[in-house]
Amino acid sequence: MQRILIIGASSLVGTQLSLRFRGNHSVIGTFDKHRPYIDGISLIKLPLRMDVDWAALLRLIKPETIFYCAAERDEKLCREQPIHALAVNAEIPASIAACAESLGIKLVYFSSSKVFSGEKGDYEEHDSVDPISHYGTSKVRAEELLGNYPGVFVLRLGTVYGLGPVPSRSLYQQRRDQVLSGAPLALVNDEWRSFQSADWVAEASEKLLASDPKLAGIYHLPSATKETQHGFTTLLSLSLSIPPAHVQPVSGEVFSHTHQGGEPRGRDCSMRGSLFQKTFRIHPQSTAKYLKELASRLNGGRF
Ligand SMILES: NC(=O)c1ccc[n+]([C@@H]2O[C@H](COP(=O)([O-])OP(=O)(O)OC[C@H]3O[C@@H](n4cnc5c(N)ncnc54)[C@H](OP(=O)(O)O)[C@@H]3O)[C@@H](O)[C@H]2O)c1
């Protein structure tokens, strides 16, 4: 059993980590504006600011591992408030990393495929980063700062879907509502991403928790296939036994400067996760299988 601190337990990823870890570990989670209702974990309201005394807090909580799930992911906000985005996404986790290192605590940070422009696709860990959005730039800055602390494990995620406490931040919950409404839905079919179930992120994180604590550096989370928003939503529709006729394909060019808060979008930000698979020897299921599980979980009234 480990003592685990999840910073941002109210996030989509943090919620799924909390649910997975709570049976076997002692879990302390933080939130700010959205208190998650998760039995079996301790919760602390903790607005992330530059002046938090992390050394004192970590000495008090005494975690063995920290998962930093907090982030400013709103692309428009990242552009309009770059100092805030840099603080939450990069500088605060770097301050935590400094304290964690001196106290012998493992830190896991979630980065993003948006560190890449999407010009190439199928990115490997050794590919050079070349972000095109403010959010992506803040994640690159985080990776640079965290690179000063050799014990930090950085896991880059693609597009994560699943059930979280804030539906407006959950791609799955938004798309599911749209599909159930039956209204025509035009979705991009020529921009590729690694779609990853939050359950898979939690399973991989659990494997990481059980592994050699000295493992560190940057890894890509594998995904079974790459999908477009159109392809993903077609699978989602089928998982709900709804014929996907109203899910229409459109080119991403139609949406330029209207979606993603006007920030540029990459053509193919998909990532390969061969280093992760080689190290941890676990493989994701297909997107269709995860979506079927989510649909049956929701039918059974489970979160
Ligand atoms: N979701 C994706 O598709 C995706 C893709 C690639 C990488 N990632 C990375 O994976 C990690 C988890 O993402 P997610 O989608 O699960 O996050 P999310 O659902 O967008 O949640 C964001 C989290 O950050 C917290 N937060 C933001 N600003 C804060 C502040 N000033 N003070 C305290 N807490 C603050 C929020 O707390 P409150 O809500 O309580 O205020 C919430 O817990 C992030 O590092 C993200 O960059 C996510």
Q: What is the pLDDT of residues 5-44, one digit of tens each?
A: 999 999 999 999 999 999 999 999 999 999 999 999 999 9
Q: Give nearest CA residue, ligand 1 atom 31.
A: 48
User: Is 38 a pocket residue for ligand 1 (Cβ < 6 Å)?
Assistant: no
CA dihedral (151, 156, 161, 162) in degrees, to 10, reads: -10
Closest atom of ligand 1 to 31 CA is 40
Pocket of ligand 1 contains residue 88 by CB under 6 Å: yes
Which of 69, 135, 146 has the most ligand 1 atoms within 8 A of CB, as the residue to mutate?
Answer: 69
Q: Is the CB of 10 under 6 A from ligand 1?
A: yes
pLDDT above 60 (res 277): yes
Q: For 278-292, how does the pLDDT look when each residue is reduced to its tens digit (9 = 90+)?
A: 999 999 999 999 999
Which residues, 6+ apart, have CB-to-CB distance to 58 below 8 Å?
Answer: 5, 66, 96, 99, 100, 103, 105
Give percent above pLDDT 90 in the chain. Answer: 90
Q: Is the dihedral of CA 19, 21, 26, 27 positive or negative?
A: negative
Ligand 1 atom closest to residue 87's alpha carbon, by position in its atom list: 31
Mean per-residue pLDDT, 240-269: 83
Query: Residue 255: is its pLDDT beyond 90?
Result: no
Neighbour tally for 23: CB within 10 Å: 8
Please compute the mean of the pLDDT values over residues 205-227 and round it to a whole number.
Answer: 95
Beta strands 226-227 and 106-112 are unpaired
> Residue 256: its pLDDT value, please?
63
Q: Which candidate, 233, 255, 259, places its Cα nearest to that of 246?
A: 233
Given a cut of 70, is residue 257 above it in pLDDT?
A: no
Whether 157 is in the pocket of ligand 1, judged by its Cβ within 6 Å, is: yes
| CA-proximal residue: ligand 1, atom 29 (nearest) | 48
Question: For 91-111, what is the mean pLDDT?
Answer: 98
Cα–ligand 1 centroid distance for 43 (angstroms): 16
Whole-number mean pLDDT of the chain?
94
